[in-house]
Amino acid sequence: MIANAPFIFGIGQCSLDYLGRIADYPPPDVKCEFSGLVVQGGGPVATALVALSRWGMRCAIASLIGNDAFGQTIANSLREEGIDTSNLVVRRNSASQFAFIAVEPKAGRRTIFWQRPTGAPLHPEEVSEDKIRKAAILHTDGLLIDASLQACRIARQAGVPVVVDAGTLRDGMLDLAALSDYFIASETFAHQLTNNGCPLDACAMLLEHGPRLAAVTLGAAGYVARWKNAEISKPAYPVAAMDTTGCGDVFHAGFIFGLVSRWDYEMCLDFAAWAAAQVSLQMGGRKGIPSLKEIENQGYPCNRF
């Protein structure tokens, strides 16, 4: 990591993920054997920061864990990736976020069972205003909504661009859209937002709230995006996907990497889609994150800062 590399500040979920392979998703009231147990850190913002740290960015996270064994593992996994965890708040007598993920490699899909952290949500005053103001990008998934909204207001005042990973249309997400610069939503979010489920219509509606660019990720179908008078619709990179856990998280990381590298939007989105496809080749959201050498070999112009 280079001292003058761009600084990315993230606020959102961090989790511990247990993943196991199954042949097919079972019907009720049967036993289902799994294999290939994998344990990795997870969470939309946390995994995006892991990717960005591996790609040479300086990263810090604001989130919360419990004072349990899972929380300690989550914190250690982030520190091992070079991420500043000084704003990772430990709630006493509470449980950390945890997920078990049943992966069906033959179908290239997974089912996630998860528990949110049981501690009190992150308070706005627990997020470093100084770090937000120093950031090149503020990235949030909106799960810690009060703290995220306050962080985005500070970023807006400081002229720091905001990237939002919108998985579900929850309370406060459209307020977050109004404070964001780049709003990238899931297909689920697009269906919840529109009457017809059209992702390009969802992008148009989101742009009315104020971001410069709105996009919707569509899994194997690729992505769509709109900005100014432009729109783009592209398929996903064709790969033999094993597990799609973390693909959306790394899509956001790829887009952020492109922004700080000063690529145009089309290249940012293309790289995001390629990086997300590479993640699907491995179990879990972090093992398949491509290296800088792999990125350069793919022809993307990596800035070593």
Q: With contact defined as beta carbons under 8 Å apart, do 147 and 124 qualify?
A: yes
Q: How many domains does the chain have?
A: 1
pLDDT at 305 (0 to 100) = 61
pLDDT at 3 (0 to 100) = 67
Q: What percentage of the chain has pLDDT greater than the value 90?
A: 92
- Look at 2 and 297; give whichever has higher pLDDT: 297
Q: Is the pLDDT of residue 157 over 80?
A: yes
Composition of the chain by helix, strand, coil, percent to 5: 35, 25, 40
Q: Does residue 10 belong to any structural domain of this protein?
A: no
Between the alpha carbon of residue 304 and those of residues 180, 236, 257, 258, 301, the distances in Å are 27, 27, 12, 13, 9
Q: Does residue 102 belong to any structural domain of this protein?
A: no
Q: Does residue 293 belong to any structural domain of this protein?
A: yes
Q: Does residue 153 belong to any structural domain of this protein?
A: yes
Find how far residue 261's CA is from the centre of its chain: 19
Average pLDDT, the chain: 95
Q: What percentage of the chain has pLDDT greater than the value 70?
A: 98
pLDDT at 2 (0 to 100) = 65
Average pLDDT over residues 210-221: 95
CA 125 – CA 139 distance, rounded (Å): 18
CATH number, domain of 48, equals 3.40.1190.20
Q: Give residue-wise pLDDT tens across range 81-92.
A: 999 999 999 999
pLDDT at 183 (0 to 100) = 98
pLDDT at 304 (0 to 100) = 63
Q: Which structural domain, as residue segments, surrounds residue 191?
A: 43-93+120-297
Q: Does residue 226 belong to any structural domain of this protein?
A: yes
Residue 140 zone, left/alpha/beta (φ > 0; ψ -120 to 50; rest): beta
In this prediction the pTM is 0.95
Q: Does residue 51 belong to any structural domain of this protein?
A: yes
Q: Is the pLDDT of residue 73 over 80?
A: yes
Q: Does residue 9 belong to any structural domain of this protein?
A: no
Q: Does residue 194 belong to any structural domain of this protein?
A: yes
Report which of 77, 74, 100 is spatially closest to residue 19, judged by C-alpha positions. 100
Strands of the sheet containing 58-66, edge to edge, are: 84-91, 58-66, 7-11, 137-140, 162-166, 182-186, 213-217, 223-227, 230-234
